[in-house]
Amino acid sequence: MAPLPPPPTPTLDAIYAAYVAKAGDGWRDHLGASIIGKECERALWYDFRWVTRRAFSGRILRLFETGMREEDRLVRDLRRTGATVLDSDPETGRQWQVTALGGHFGGSMDAVAIGLLEAPNTWHVVEFKTHNRKSFAVLAREGVLSAKPQHAAQMQVYMHLAGITRAPAIDLAKRRGIEVIERRIMPEELAGFSECFITGTAAEVTPIRSVDRVPVGDGRVGPITRRLQSAYLEIARGRRPDRYGWLTHLDEVAGADEVGARVAV
């Protein structure tokens, strides 16, 4: 006996069709910061010239809207901690905009904030991302830089163009309500970590194998730390393209004598 076809869903189909009809083609006259982290430069060339019309299903468009609605809730959550969160530019009343290259490149920041408990005196770029369960599991296991390189690149671009040096990436697992945020770590917590590292201008990405002679994890450099350390050093030493704006060519700096040298910032 042949299997029965799935029952029709005219109401759901009509809802999704309405999202598609409202969406349009998403055309804009600049290359967006949200996609600059793509590894393929040819794809970026095509994106900038809108060679292919952007198209998403109604179900995906509805998920995008769900993510945008979650942003308002997360802004309220941050404000409840005492932070000052500006989700619009006071001068324009609209979303924060950053641009470069004569307007040919830019993006829209979700918010900027000061008074976050981890660094209360420093302005932060705030960017919200939502994930399904599978995507969030990969993010939690591998970290933003490895699991979501486009998100990492987007944050670096916003920090660079806005002149802000810190940015907490707040990611929400939609179905589980789990948030990933920057926070203070107590020394006694380290014994339960699988791996740990520190970052800094001089430290770069440095693994922590033990604290007070107590091993962190198995006492060896963890796989996430090793990947981050390797990726950072390859970019800093010019072995990998710098898609994050970390490097400054000295020949682009007034008064530089050594043409072509690089300084990691």
154 and 94 belong to one structural domain: yes
Question: What's at 199, amino acid-wise?
Answer: T
Full pLDDT tens readout for the chain, 265 residues: 788 888 888 898 999 999 988 887 777 788 888 888 888 889 889 888 888 777 888 898 998 888 888 888 889 999 999 999 999 888 888 888 888 888 888 898 999 998 988 888 888 888 888 888 888 888 888 878 788 888 888 888 888 888 776 665 455 454 445 455 556 667 777 778 888 877 765 667 888 888 888 888 888 888 877 877 787 788 778 887 776 566 666 554 444 444 333 333 3
29 and 146 belong to one structural domain: yes
**Distance between first and last Cα of the chain:** 68
CA-closest candidate to residue 147, choices 132, 130, 159, 135: 135
CATH number of the domain within which 232 lies: 3.20.10.10
CA-closest candidate to residue 233, choices 194, 262, 195, 196: 262
Q: Which residues contact 108 (CB under 8 A, 6 or more apart)?
A: 95, 96, 97, 98
Q: Other CB atoms closer than 10 Å to residue 265's CB: what's the count?
A: 10
132 and 50 belong to one structural domain: yes
CA-closest candidate to residue 240, choices 145, 165, 104, 154: 145
36 and 81 belong to one structural domain: yes
| Residue 19 located in a structural domain | no
87 and 216 belong to one structural domain: no
66 and 101 belong to one structural domain: yes
Domain that holds residue 236: 192-265
Question: What's at 46, amino acid-wise?
Answer: Y
| Residue 13 located in a structural domain | no
Residues 45-71 pLDDT 10s:
988 888 877 788 889 899 888 888 888
82 and 201 belong to one structural domain: no
Helix, strand, coil percentages in the chain from 3-state DSSP, rounded to 5: 40, 20, 40
110 and 157 belong to one structural domain: yes
168 and 209 belong to one structural domain: no
Instruction: From 126, 154, 184, give the residue that closes a domain.
Output: 184
Number of domains in the chain: 2
| Residue 146 located in a structural domain | yes
Tokens of 158: 């916003």
| Residue 56 located in a structural domain | yes
